[in-house]
A and B are shown apart, each in its own frame.
Chain A
Amino acid sequence: MNPDVAVPEAPALQDPTRFGAFGGRYVPETLIAALDELEAAYAEAGQDPAFHAEFESLLRDFVGRPCPLYRARRLESAAGAGPIYLKREDLNHTGAHKINNTIGQALLALRMGKRRIIAETGAGQHGVATATACALFDLECVVYMGAEDVERQALNVFRMELMGAEVRPVTSGTRTLKDATNEAIRDWVTNVEDTHYIIGSVVGPAPFPRMVRDFQSVIGREARAQMLEAEGRLPGSVVACVGGGSNAMGIFHPFVGDEGVRLIGVEAAGEGVETGRHSASLSAGKPGILHGALSYLLQDDDGQVAPAHSVSAGLDYPGVGPEHSHLRDAGRAEYVSVGDEAALGAFHRLSELEGIIPALETSHAIAYLLEHGAELAPDGPILLCLSGRGDKDVAHVARIEGRGSIL
C-alpha cells in the first residue's frame, strides 16, 4: 500500500473544481488561462436567458428532444423484470446522447469567439456529434481518433468527413481513445488562443466534468418527468453504461438527491476484470491523475497508465469522470462490470426483442439488466439509458462474428 495514493482531504471539499476529493485541474500551465476563460464564459452563459433559450431550441428543433421514454415489454419478459423503460437517446440526431454536449459547447465557443474546434473520439459518436455542431455553426473542426478506432469505426470516420471535419488518426501509445485525448490536449496547448477543445465526456480538468454533466443532465431531467408521468413514481433504479461516463452522469444527476433511487453504472469488463484486459476503472483502478483530473484510473505498479480494453471503442478508456469516483466513494452510486461476450449477446438480444439495435457501449447496460433485472425489479421501475444506436457497430460485430467485411 502506498499511503499517498489516498486522496487529499479537507480543503478540497470546498473546491468548486472538485467532486469531494476528485477532479481538479492538473494541466500544463499553458492551459490555465483557457480554463479560466472557459469557466467564466460558462458561468456568464448560465446567467444568460438567451443562451438557455438558444440551447433549448436547438435541442428541440435540431436534435429532436425530448426523446421518448419507451417501455420495453419484450425485454421485461426476457429479463424477468419490469417495468423497464428505455430513455431513447439513440433517437437523437446523430444517434447518441453526445450531441447534447457538443451543441452546448459549440455555443460556448461562439461566445468566446473561438472558431476552431478540436475533439477526441473513441467510437466516433462524439466526433460525429462535434462535426455536426461545427457544420451547423460553420466552425473549423479537427477530430483526433486512435488509429485502431479509425479502423473499427470506419463508418463514423466517413460521416465526420462528410460534414467537413478533418479526422486525424493517432498512432502513438495504445492507438485508442486515451491517446486521441493526449493528442487533442497537445493540439489545444499549441493552439489555445483560437481553439476550443470540446471534450466528449465528463472527464478532463475543471470546468469540463461539471459543464458536460450539466449539458447532459437534460437526459435525466426529461426521463424523471417522463417516468413520473408514465408510472406516477420515481424509478427504483437507473442503469447506464460508463466509459468516461457522460450518459450515466447525465441521467444520474437529476436523481442524485432522490435517496431511494439506486444508481448503477456498468463498466466494460472486456475479457474479464481478472485478466487485466478490461476498462473497469471504478471496479479495479486506483485514484490517479490523467487528462487533468484526479479520478479512478487503471495503472500499473509504477503509476504508468495501463492500457484499457473493451470490444466497444467508446468504453475503451482507462479513466473515468471524477464525479463518478466521488459517487462511488460516497456510496451514492454502484458500479458493476460486464464483459465483451455478454455485451455482444445483449447487442443481439435487444435487436431481436425490441427492434432496437443498441450501441455496443449501451449493450453493456442491457446485458447487466438481462442478468440482474430480476434483482432490481422489487425496488420499482427500472430506467435504462439507451445512450446510442448500434448502426456504427454493425460492421465491427459482423467482422467479430466471422461474417467478413461488409463495409
Chain B
Amino acid sequence: MTVPIQPDPAATPSSPISRAIRARNDRGQAALIPYVCAGYPDRNASLDLLLAAADAGADVLELGIPFSDPLADGPTIQRATFHALEGGMTVAGALDILREFRSRRDTPVVLFTYLNPVHHYGMDRFVKEAAEAGAQGLLLTDLPAGADATLEGAAARGGLDLIRLLAPTTSPERIPRVAEGGGGFLYYISRTGVTGARTELREALAREIEVIRARVSLPVAVGFGISSPDQAAAVAAVADGVVVGSALVDAMTEGGAEAGGRFLAELRRAMDAVPRNLDAVAASGVTTPEG
C-alpha cells in the first residue's frame, strides 16, 4: 500500500517551492518539475510552454537563462541555449518572461542558469529583480556548496531558495553541508554526466536517495536523463520530485508548446499511477519497472 511521506515540519514553513512539492507528496504523488529554456525557440513560445507546463500539472517550474558556455548541459540544451542567445535572449528578457508568467499563474519558479550571467548582472541586483519578477528559487549549476560564501548567501538574503545539487559522487559526509545553505528542494543528479535524455536509470537510485533522505529534511527531486513516462514513474516511486529537461526541449522542438504540454501530461499520468511506498522500495532496492 501507498504510504505518503509526511511533510517534515522543518522543511516546509516558508518556502513556496517546498510547500508545493510536499503538497503533491501528501497526495501520495511525486512533484513534476519541468525545465524550460527562456527564448527557445523564441520568447513567446517559451512563455507558452511555461503556461502549458503549469496547466499539465507541473508543481514547480525551472526557467533556464541561457549561457554561452553551458558546460553542465548535453547537446539538446546546448542547442536550445545557443538558439535562444542567437534570438537575442538576455537575463532581463528572461525576467520579463517570468513577470508575464507570474501575472497569469501561481506555480513556483526556479531560475536555472550559470554563475557568470548573474555575476555580471550583479548578484544582489539579480536576486532582487528576480524575486520582484516572481521567482521563488535560484539554481546555479557552477556554484557548488562552499565555493563562495558571499555569492551563496545572496539568494537567501534576497528571499530566494538556493536550489542545491547533489551528485552520485557527493560523499555522504558532504550531503548535510550541501543542504545547509540550500532551500526549496535538493536536486539529485541521477547519474554523473551532463543533462540529456537517456534510456536507462541507475539501478542504485533508490538506495542513493535513501542515503540522502537520512541526512536532510528538504524534498529530494531527481533529474538528468529522464526521458519517458516509464522512467518518470520509476523515479516518482522513490523520489519527492522528478525533473525533466532535455526530453521536454525535444518535445517542444517537434511540436511546440502544445506538444510540450501533452508530453508533461503523459508524464504526470504515469507518475501518478505508480504507488509510492518509499520504505519498501528502499528495502527491496527495486527501482525500475519493465520497459
Pair from one complex: yes
Please report which residues of chain B, range 125-150, place their CB below 8 angstroms from some CB of chain A when the two chains form the complex: 125, 141-145, 147-150
Contacts of B114 in A (CB 8 A): 289
Indicate whether B216 reaches chain A with its CB closer than 8 angstroms: no
Contacts of B288 in A (CB 8 A): none
Contacts of A299 in B (CB 8 A): 116, 120
The answer to whether A189 and B192 touch across the interface, beta carbons within 8 angstroms, is: yes
User: Contact residue range for chain A?
Assistant: 35 or more
Cα–Cα, bound, A2→B143 (Å): 20
Cα–Cα, bound, A143→B78 (Å): 21
Most chain B CB neighbours (cut-off 10 Å) among A5, A30, A304 = A30
Indicate whether A34 reaches chain B with its CB closer than 8 angstroms: yes
The answer to whether A28 and B141 touch across the interface, beta carbons within 8 angstroms, is: yes
Inter-chain residue pair count (beta carbon < 8 A): 139
The answer to whether A288 and B192 touch across the interface, beta carbons within 8 angstroms, is: no
Contacts of A2 in B (CB 8 A): 120-122, 125
Cα–Cα, bound, A303→B140 (Å): 14
The answer to whether A186 and B120 touch across the interface, beta carbons within 8 angstroms, is: no
- Please name the residue on chain A nearest to B142 by beta carbon: A26
The answer to whether A189 and B194 touch across the interface, beta carbons within 8 angstroms, is: yes
Indicate whether B44 reaches chain A with its CB closer than 8 angstroms: no
CB distance from A312 to the nearest CB of B (A): 21
Please report which residues of chain A, range 130-185, place their CB below 8 angstroms from some CB of chain B when the two chains form the complex: 172-173, 178-179, 182, 185
Q: Which applies to chain A's interface (DSSP): helix, strand, loop or mixed?
A: mixed
Indicate whether A302 reaches chain B with its CB closer than 8 angstroms: yes
The answer to whether B69 and A178 touch across the interface, beta carbons within 8 angstroms, is: yes
Indicate whether A193 reaches chain B with its CB closer than 8 angstroms: yes
Contacts of B170 in A (CB 8 A): 29, 32-33
Contacts of B204 in A (CB 8 A): none
Cα–Cα, bound, A304→B178 (Å): 27
Cα–Cα, bound, A297→B168 (Å): 31
A191 and B74 contact, Cβ closer than 8 Å, known pairs A25-B144, A288-B116: no
Q: Please name the 5 residue pairs, one residue from A and one from B, whose CB atoms are nearest each other, closest first.
A: A303-B120, A4-B122, A303-B117, A190-B193, A30-B167
Q: Given contacts A25-B144, A189-B193, could you give 6 more A-B pairs where the C-beta distance is less than 8 Å?
A: A3-B125, A4-B122, A26-B144, A289-B115, A304-B68, A304-B117
Question: Hey, which bits of chain A sit against chain B, CB under 8 A?
Answer: 2-5, 8-9, 11, 24-34, 172-173, 178-179, 182, 185-186, 189-193, 286, 288-292, 297, 299, 302-305
